[in-house]
Structure 1
Amino acid sequence: MFGLSVFLGDELTQERKRYLKQMKEAGFTKVFTSLHIPEENADQYLERLAELGLVMKELEMELVADVSKGALAKIGVSNLSVDGLKRLKEKGVNGLRVDYGFSNQEIAFMSHELNIVLNASTITQNDIEELNHYGASFPRMVAMHNYYPRPETGLAKEVLKEKNQWLAETGFTVAAFVPGDKQLRGPLYKQLPTLEDHRGKHPLAAAIELITECYVDEVYIGDPEIAESTIYQFKRYIADKTVVYFVKPEKQSPYFEIVLGKHQNRWDPAKDVLRSADARFKEIPQISPYETIERTRGSVTIDNQDYQRYMGEIQVVVHDLPKDEKVNVAARIRAEDLPLLDCCPAGGYFELKEQMNQTEENISELR
């Protein structure tokens, strides 16, 4: 399950609405926002919440709002009642992320009307016992970790794994954030990950790591926007678990077109490379030696005629390898996709796709 973030401090422009639609088409189903409404901008926030709620209904996406009791009062829910919570649903809000200020009895009550998201880092065994005592609907409850705007404050992977394993065993769905790579959120513009090690990492690589290694069920993009190419990579991964690597030819290699396309990593995976399972069994031209150079991480290679029956084998280099006169370097994976090399398992599918013709801004230059 994948989601994204929308911040009500920013205007919900037509461009932003198109972005939401694009993300929906890519397979994203949830949106996270905050209702910690500044007093001086209360009316503006309420207008934007109503507008966002309409868009969510049109796109059939779930809207999860981070709230306090004070924020609920500002949007017309001054006391926790069935009617008040139904009014929230009418505004397009399907779930509430609640933290300090709400008792477990109140949380249990709300869980029968809305999906309830708790702070994953602060949930204790006592909380679970109280929620059970008050009859909470656990199938509608999610434990969500924070994102951390300030560098050096994000969680350590082992801490996250230990907490999430316990949460999963208690029956919680677990959610966390990964960074964006296009429009970043101010005032620090240092990305919004849950794990500190994900700051500066490819959003999809971070998401796959959370899902496959950290007991995370739902992944949200923390920052306001990801790049077009990254949206495409998420779309392919969500649709059929294919990891897409964008590549460019190595010195106008005549074999560049041959290596492009969809491949399957062998079920007996190599230590140092991703091996295309059936590449050398396809009909191919004679492969002459060309650019038999050092094979650094991210190199895409094709074996030449000197490798005899292996001619035509296509590999993606995961760990640096020396030059081999029998192996041509035909392409290179772009630098930002290199973390994705660790995300294609045995038998997994990957695609080598020519790099999109668009200006990709460096993360450090985004403001």
Structure 2
Amino acid sequence: MHGFSIYLGQPIDKSYITRMISLGYTTVFTSVQIPEEEDKTKYRYLGELLDYLSNNHLTYMIDINPSLLDHSFYEFLQAYQHAQFIIRIDHSTSIEVINDIINHGFQCCLNASILSESMLRQLYEQLDDFSYLCYCHNYYPRPDTGLDDQFVNKQNILILKYNPNATIFGFIAGTTARGPLFKGLPTIESTRDKHPVESAQLLLNNATTQILIGDSKLDETMAQQLISILCHRHFTFTLNLSDLQATSILQQQHTVRPDAPNLVVRSQEARHYCTFDIKPNQTIHRRTGSVTLDNKLNHRYQGELQIIRTDLPAHQHVNVVGEIIASEHALIHCMQPNDTFNFILKTREQN
């Protein structure tokens, strides 16, 4: 259910929407309560969006003020039978409003950033079926107002206490920021300027289960990297290759060893891929982002492949065979045991 955002104050970007769906994003977040947008324009573009995507089975999360929930709004949504709708209540949450949404056949999403234990206890005591509920944190357009990751964790753990199978959404910033401030739309403040994968991983590490891109767009390469990791835990790195003798090993898919150390990422399969002698070459200082292979001087460890997480000294048994491009260094620190990875190899001629 990972997704992206479409805002209704301007004509929808159909090419961006199509690309994101083709990559595997299945939830569209939008809002009908942004002050800068006119009501008539918002509903016209919402209808255009739903019509355009009528052949896709998507989930739409619509952020709305409870005061706007009336018969005509429900009737408008019910006309689109191909779509799954989640109605997110930003504030003024009450059991009556929640039941009204559910009774009209829609999922209700509560604001995870402001939920209190008393409200959760009330829901636990009065709702028979939690399957119609989900939770979504706020995004924060103004710098310095985003949440701390510990606060997000505390809220999520509180939600899971009363609803152990809860779906909890959180936002990360995109690469084309939305106005009027153009400073990103993250949930966690410290992720405002981070790589989307790093931002998403911090949310996941703090009990958030689903990721939404808050801003208007996300760069295509980053969108591909992100969904591949979210859905498959697979990383693709661009490697500037400097030692051609072990290309065949680097062209294979690898798995992060389950007994993963902090200083390096180790391939589980690389030594099995090594069927030839690796001569010592470029046994130099190992920097963050370096990819190394143990040479024949390391005997049975020959072919050991590592991605370096923190600077390490040179070792005569270890060849530096290439460098991951700087913009992807953040991804290295997101890798976990049993994740898979591969390399896109670039030589000097290609650069």
TM-score in terms of structure 2 length: 0.88
Residue 109 of structure 1 is matched in structure 2 by 100
The structure 2 residue matched to 1:49, chosen from 41, 46, 50, is 46
Contact 2:197 2:334 in 1 (8 A): no
The residue type equivalent to 1:144 in the other structure is: C
1:148 aligns with 2:140: yes
Cα distance change, pair 257–148 in 1 and its aligned pair in 2 (3 A): farther
Cα distance change, pair 304–328 in 1 and its aligned pair in 2 (3 A): same
Cα distance change, pair 279–110 in 1 and its aligned pair in 2 (3 A): same
CA distance in 2 between partners of 1:285 and 1:225 (Å): 46
Report the secondary structure of 1:51's partner residue. helix
Query: What RMSD, in angstroms, separates the aligned Cα atoms of the two structures?
Result: 2.5
The alpha-carbon deviation at position 216 of structure 1 amounts to: 0.9
CA distance in 2 between partners of 1:313 and 1:125 (Å): 50
CA distance in 2 between partners of 1:127 and 1:121 (Å): 13
1:279 aligns with 2:265: no
The structure 2 residue matched to 1:353, chosen from 332, 344, 350, is 344
CA distance in 2 between partners of 1:170 and 1:341 (Å): 35
The alpha-carbon deviation at position 2 of structure 1 amounts to: 0.6
1:25 aligns with 2:22: yes
Unaligned ranges ≥5, structure 2:
347-351
Summarize the alignment of residues 284-363 of structure 1 with structure 2, pairs less than 5 Å apart: 284-354=275-345
Residue 194 of structure 1 is matched in structure 2 by 187
Kindly tell me the number of residue pairs found equivalent between the two proteins. 341
Residue 362 of structure 1 is matched in structure 2 by none
Residue 4 of structure 2 is matched in structure 1 by 4
CA distance in 1 between partners of 2:286 and 2:319 (Å): 9
Contact 2:291 2:306 in 1 (8 A): yes
Cα distance change, pair 291–178 in 1 and its aligned pair in 2 (3 A): same
Cα distance change, pair 233–318 in 1 and its aligned pair in 2 (3 A): same
Contact 1:261 1:353 in 2 (8 A): no
The residue type equivalent to 1:195 in the other structure is: I
The alignment-based identity, stated in percent, is: 30
Cα distance change, pair 307–132 in 1 and its aligned pair in 2 (3 A): closer
The residue type equivalent to 1:226 in the other structure is: L
Cα distance change, pair 27–90 in 1 and its aligned pair in 2 (3 A): same
Report the secondary structure of 1:8's partner residue. coil
TM-score in terms of structure 1 length: 0.84
Cα distance change, pair 39–6 in 1 and its aligned pair in 2 (3 A): closer
Report the secondary structure of 1:58's partner residue. coil
CA distance in 1 between partners of 2:196 and 2:251 (Å): 23
Residue 98 of structure 1 is matched in structure 2 by 89
Report the secondary structure of 2:253's partner residue. strand
Contact 1:109 1:136 in 2 (8 A): no
Residue 59 of structure 2 is matched in structure 1 by 62
The alpha-carbon deviation at position 254 of structure 1 amounts to: 4.8
Unaligned ranges ≥5, structure 1:
356-367
The residue type equivalent to 1:145 in the other structure is: H
